[in-house]
């Protein structure tokens, strides 16, 4: 069992301002018992990676609906891996064309959630993934 | 005979989304107290039924599809295509850097160039965007807010190069910054500076551009962000009140500018509620203008508006179902009496729309216009017990919110305190919980789920777009008279510091090929930048 609440950082990289999804997810994860930090919008991958390290989070959730995910999500993961956040789970949401998903997975985005995703699915994904990891590492 | 009371119904109770009021089994004249005073005829105050006595019998709505992507050449090509398909007006989508005051070579623009709109850095791009399209003969709507003064200046200058005087131009700039703080988030400056820029445009247009709509007060994005129909009505009208007041505070007489104020709303799938929403909106705005602002010109009281079918309701699952959703939404817009309409493409929950999907979207409007028969009489739902009752409910619920905002001290204060943002975020979360629990059915998402068979072709923006645009910008900065650019930018700063209208200085600056980013930076020097309050 984990001995602390799951800590999640949510952020919007790039210039996209559609924040309905990220705000709803923030509240949903909070209601599911996680600690959620919503960093806001118009952020560079550098700013997000820096905050993830400082806040010592388990999960980073990126949201982008402008199409810039293909550049910004992998960049953020790369920066996270370069810092001391090698283990952090990175997930994404937005308008993500299916053909982009393999590229994002390869770049280290564990899962993407599009329109029509139920909150429950995101909660379950985070809990199972971290749970498994926790057991493997004897956390 | 069996008593109807004993027949079981599918649900224990049926509710509207308007404050969750119970919907009765049937409506009768008894539900319509005061109907006579409110109903009037189309073209008569308070315009509940339509602003024109002839409705669509006189003139159909404008079919205006929002489009723009990649470089100006690509967008220019799409515009020419749409024009050939019978589209009667243009609507420009700008990429986010243009909307937020950054050039394509700014670090924050990386990955965004040409993505959800066309990349416009300078007047050179604007000139090429309209290459081969005579600006004297078209009407153009531009979705631009924080940088609206700069983009309008570019449009005026581009027209001048075509030999067209600004007085002959017809179109709209969105120029509605208040809803940006609430929902869309392409703000740059704080509210005081922003309201000054908004009203500078409105004054400039009132004096120089009689055929131009200087503002499109928008409920659409708030609805997309989660507002209910009644919240959309209330918050849009509250923002409208704030703009009218700001113009009056600038010394303008209400009837000198209000007739050119226009609006922009969403249409959802709940057909009858949406029809009621549009009817309530017209009635409420008419009353606000007449009673609160003492307008005398009936045109100041007429709510003219554009509608876009709602993007949020499109599902990634079973995307062809979206064609049906869009049809119902477009029908609601038409039965509600819109002046112009954009129909979304069925593949937009997946990516930017393909050409095929764009065509189906436009054809949807044409089928409604020419085959459905709903345009043959004005306000066909007028007098329907249920729709009239719903119209009243919508008005009452929205009026309650407007009172609340008045008590706070108006829309600007309510936004600064995060009141409106919190109300919307709350509605968005409630909606999602209802979908999660299954109480709100979304076909193909939480009911009637099947593995999606259809993977439509979608449009892709290549990375070449960004490279191309950066090359253009570099060249421009090398070839223009940079001394002149600097002089013009100092002039912009000076005017921003004064209480003069910024428009003339901006037109001079764009003509010297100063870029969106450079001019925005000059304004940032004077105005500073906005920081979002914590909403969650």
Domains, in order of start, for chain B: 29-63+174-345+352-437 (3.20.20.240)
Whether residues B316 and A16 touch (CB distance < 8 A) is answered with no
Give the pLDDT of residue B125: 97
pLDDT in tens, B475-511: 999 999 999 999 999 999 999 999 999 999 999 999 9
Q: Answer whether residue A137 shows pLDDT above 80.
A: no
Q: Answer whether residue B384 shows pLDDT above 60.
A: yes
Q: Select from B115, B316, B317 the Cβ nearest to the Cβ of A66.
A: B115
Q: Answer whether residue B11 shows pLDDT above 80.
A: yes
E strand segments, chain A: 7-11, 35-38, 59-64, 89-94, 111-113
pLDDT in tens, A122-131: 999 999 999 8
The percentage of residues in chain B with a pLDDT greater than 90, rounded to a whole number, is 79
Which of B25-39, B187-201, B393-407 shows the lowest mean pLDDT across its residues? B25-39
Q: Residues in chain B, how many? A: 536
Give the pLDDT of residue B457: 67
Residues of A with CB under 8 A from a CB of B: 14-20, 23-24, 26-28, 36, 38, 40-42, 44, 66-68, 70-72, 75, 95, 97-98, 114-116, 118-120
Instruction: Report the C-alpha gap between B332 and B61 in whole angstroms.
Output: 13
Give the pLDDT of residue A139: 41
Torsion of CA B421, B422, B427, B431, to 10 degrees: 100
Rounded mean pLDDT, B45-49: 96
Chain A residues whose CB is inside 8 A of the B316 CB are: 114-116
Q: Answer whether residue B3 shows pLDDT above 60.
A: no
Nearest CA in chain A to B187: A17
Rounded mean pLDDT, B91-110: 95
Rounded mean pLDDT, B400-419: 97
Chain B residues whose CB is inside 8 A of the A44 CB are: 107-108
Rounded mean pLDDT, B264-280: 97
**Chain mean pLDDT for chain A:** 91
Query: What is the ipTM score, two decimals?
Result: 0.90
- Give the count of Cβ contacts less than 8 A between chain A and B: 111
pLDDT in tens, A25-79: 999 999 999 999 999 999 999 999 999 999 999 999 999 998 899 999 999 999 9
Rounded mean pLDDT, B418-424: 96
Chain B residues whose CB is inside 8 A of the A120 CB are: 436
Whether residues A17 and B436 touch (CB distance < 8 A) is answered with no
Q: Which of B504, B335, B24, B197 is nearest to B188 (CA)?
A: B197
Rounded mean pLDDT, B244-254: 98
Q: Answer whether residue B61 shows pLDDT above 50.
A: yes
Query: Is the model more confident about B491 or about B451?
Result: B491
**Chain mean pLDDT for chain B:** 93
Residue environment code for B443-460, b if the CB has 16+ CB neighbours within 10 A, otherwise e: ebbbeeeeeeeeeeebbe
Backbone φ and ψ for B443, nearest 5 degrees, come out as -60, 130
Chain A residues whose CB is inside 8 A of the B311 CB are: none
pLDDT in tens, B218-245: 999 999 999 999 999 999 999 999 999 9
Q: Answer whether residue B442 shows pLDDT above 90.
A: yes
Whether residues A116 and B445 touch (CB distance < 8 A) is answered with yes
Burial of B11 (0-12, 13-18, 19+ CB in 10 A): exposed
- Domains in chain A: boundaries: 7-127
Give alpha helix (H) positions in B209-261.
220-224, 229-249, 254-257
Who's near B327: CB < 8 A, 6+ residues apart?
B364, B368
pLDDT in tens, B321-366: 999 999 999 999 999 999 999 999 999 888 778 889 989 999 999 9
Residue environment code for B174-185, b if the CB has 16+ CB neighbours within 10 A, otherwise e: bbbbbbbbbbbb
pLDDT in tens, B133-190: 889 988 899 999 999 999 999 999 999 999 999 999 999 999 999 999 999 999 999 9
Give the pLDDT of residue B39: 75
Torsion of CA B502, B508, B511, B512, to 10 degrees: -110
Give the pLDDT of residue B469: 95
Give the pLDDT of residue A124: 97
Chain B residues whose CB is inside 8 A of the A118 CB are: 435-436, 446
Rounded mean pLDDT, B21-50: 87
How many Cα atoms sit within 13 Å of B171 on the Cβ side?
Answer: 27
Tell me the CATH architecture of domain A7-127. Answer: 3-Layer(aba) Sandwich (3.40)
Instruction: Report the C-alpha gap between B171 and B91 in whole angstroms.
Output: 9
Q: Select from A28, A115, A120 the Cβ nearest to the Cβ of B349.
A: A115
Q: Answer whether residue B389 shows pLDDT above 90.
A: yes
């Amino acid at each position: 069992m984990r001995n602390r609440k799951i800590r999640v950082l949510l952020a919007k990289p790039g210039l996209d301002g559609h924040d309905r999804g990220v705000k709803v997810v923030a509240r949903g994860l909070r209601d599911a018992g996680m600690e959620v930090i919503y960093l806001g919008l118009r952020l560079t991958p550098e700013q997000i990676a820096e905050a993830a390290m400082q806040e010592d989070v388990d999960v980073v959730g990126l949201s982008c609906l402008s199409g810039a995910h293909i550049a910004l999500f992998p960049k953020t993961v790369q920066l996270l891996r370069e810092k001391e956040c090698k283990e952090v789970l990175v997930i994404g949401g937005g308008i993500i064309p299916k053909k982009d998903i393999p590229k994002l997975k390869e770049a280290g985005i564990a899962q993407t959630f599009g329109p029509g995703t139920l909150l429950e699915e995101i909660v379950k994904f985070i809990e199972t993934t971290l749970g498994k990891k926790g057991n493997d590492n004897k956390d | 005979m069996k008593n109807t009371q004993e027949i079981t119904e599918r649900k224990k109770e049926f509710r509207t989304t308007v404050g969750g009021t119970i919907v009765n089994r049937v409506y009768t004249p008894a539900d319509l107290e005061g109907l006579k005073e409110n109903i009037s005829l189309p073209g008569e105050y308070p315009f509940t039924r339509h602003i024109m006595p002839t409705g669509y019998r006189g003139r159909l709505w404008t079919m205006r599809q929002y489009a723009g992507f990649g470089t100006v050449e690509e967008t220019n090509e799409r515009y020419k295509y749409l024009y050939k398909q019978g589209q009667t007006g243009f609507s420009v989508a700008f990429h986010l850097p243009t909307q937020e005051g950054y050039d394509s070579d700014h670090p924050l623009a990386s990955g965004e160039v040409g993505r959800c709109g066309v990349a416009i850095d300078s007047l050179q791009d604007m000139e090429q965007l309209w290459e081969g399209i005579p600006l004297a003969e078209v009407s153009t709507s531009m979705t631009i807010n924080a940088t609206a003064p700069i983009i309008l200046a570019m449009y005026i200058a581009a027209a001048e190069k075509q030999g067209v005087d600004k007085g002959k131009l017809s179109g709209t700039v969105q120029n509605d910054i208040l809803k940006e703080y609430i929902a869309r988030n392409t703000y740059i400056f704080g509210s005081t500076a922003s309201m000054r820029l908004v009203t500078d445009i409105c004054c400039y247009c009132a004096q120089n551009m009689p055929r131009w709509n200087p503002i499109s007060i928008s409920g659409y994005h708030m609805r997309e962000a989660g507002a209910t129909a009644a919240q959309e009505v209330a918050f849009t009208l509250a923002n409208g009140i704030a703009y009218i007041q700001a113009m009056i505070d600038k010394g303008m007489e209400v009837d000198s500018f209000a007739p050119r104020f226009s609006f922009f709303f969403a249409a959802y799938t709940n057909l009858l509620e949406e029809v009621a929403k549009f009817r309530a909106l017209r009635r409420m705005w008419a009353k606000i203008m007449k009673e609160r602002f003492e307008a005398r010109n009936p045109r100041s009281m007429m709510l003219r508006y554009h509608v876009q079918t709602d993007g949020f309701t499109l599902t990634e699952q079973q995307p062809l179902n979206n064609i049906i959703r869009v049809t119902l939404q477009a029908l609601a817009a038409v039965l509600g009496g819109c002046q112009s309409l954009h129909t979304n493409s069925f593949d937009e929950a997946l990516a930017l729309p393909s050409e095929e999907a764009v065509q189906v979207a436009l054809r949807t409007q044409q089928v409604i216009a020419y085959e459905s028969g709903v345009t043959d009489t004005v306000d066909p739902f007028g007098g329907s017990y249920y729709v009239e009752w719903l119209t009243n409910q919508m008005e009452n619920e929205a009026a309650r919110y407007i009172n609340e905002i008045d008590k706070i001290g108006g829309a600007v204060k309510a936004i600064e305190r995060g009141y409106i943002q919190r109300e919307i975020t709350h509605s968005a979360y409630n909606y999602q919980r209802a979908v999660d629990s299954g109480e709100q059915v979304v076909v193909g998402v939480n009911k009637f789920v099947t593995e999606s068979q259809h993977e439509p072709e979608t449009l892709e923006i290549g990375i070449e777009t960004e490279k191309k645009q950066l090359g253009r910008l570099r060249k421009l900065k090398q070839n223009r008279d940079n001394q002149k650019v600097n002089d013009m930018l100092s002039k912009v700063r000076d005017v921003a510091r004064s209480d003069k209208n910024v428009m003339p200085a901006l037109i001079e600056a764009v003509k010297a090929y100063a870029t969106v980013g450079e001019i925005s930076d000059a304004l940032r020097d004077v105005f500073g930048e906005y920081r979002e309050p914590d909403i969650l």
